[in-house]
Amino acid sequence: MMGSLVLFFFGFSLLFFVCFANAVTTVIDSLPTLSFEEGYTQLFGDGNLMLLRDGKRVHLSLDERTGAGFASQDLYLHGFFSASIKLPSDYTAGVVVAFYMSNGDAFEKTHDELDFEFLGNVRGREWRVQTNVYGNGSTAVGREERCDLWFDPTEDFHHYSILWNHDRIIFYVDDTPIREIVRTEAAGGVFPAKPMSLYATIWDGSNWATSGGRYKVKYKYAPYVAEFSELVLHGCAVDPIDHSSPCERPENARYDTLTMSSDQRARMTSFRRNHMQYLFCYDRDRYPTPPPECSIDESSKERQSYGLDGVRLGDSRRRHRRNQGERGRVVEADAFL
């Protein structure tokens, strides 16, 4: 399995390098996608995971019995990881769909994690997208950022992607970067630096996901189905048994040179100005002393747009107290219906 992925890695590396400078959309269109059997394995859910189109499309469903999930067969140290996802529609309060990287099974006390979490809502209200980062077991400090989207993610498929290299992590929605985490000395060891697997899951987050647990999953609307396609695993594969890899070779440093174009950075700035809802760096209720990687100008226009709880001001939707997340970490309870 790892051998075939290494061939993909080398065969498309030059194309990846050239295309990335132009647009993430071109990268996604150019990189090889894997069928489920080629790159993934089922985690849980029995019949709640369904394969369609010769394994090129995966349906994960949540009902009263269980949710469902799958994971990559290999671990990866740096790369570009993407999926085209269509979320469940109608009443979805309490439903959590996650597309993320983690090594919690291999490094229980020092695990790393990169999260896309999609949080469902009551009928007539939009899904919210939450990104988060953990490094070296830093789960005592959640680095959540929450935003809305400029489209309805239940009407069609959209790409959600993660670029991870030695120096930076970039989250993308379609070809728009929405968040960048740069490795700094101030952040210390909290930057993810160990091989991780890719995961996709759907599960019941009723105790926290929507308005701090006020609105829960209603199984009369089940099954809730999240659809995944165009699954991309383009990185340096690591043996899951002994963690050996060719990642130290010079040609594998190509990911470390990738960054955003000026156009992409302008689009990220515009997105964050118009769609961000919560920023952990501004949450004084939670962090009286901001985490070390937060560089804050208290007099800036952006800072003045957020309250002491990190929630954007001027939003009429209510704030709620924090609860303990189902995955064992403190998360900012949803302040938005």
* Catalytic site positions: 113, 117
Structure tokens that stand for 188 in this block: 């210390």
Question: How far is the C-alpha of 291 from the C-alpha of 79, rounded, in Å?
Answer: 26
Pairing state between β 168-173 and 176-182 = antiparallel
Of the candidates 233, 203, 169, 276, the residue with the CA atom closest to the CA atom of residue 2: 233
Strand order in the sheet with 145-147: 40-44, 68-72, 197-204, 95-102, 113-119, 128-134, 145-147, 276-283, 309-311
Q: Which two three-digit tokens encode residue 60?
A: 């994960």
The whole-angstrom separation of Cα 199 and Cα 109 is 19
* Cα torsion 46, 52, 58, 64: sign: negative
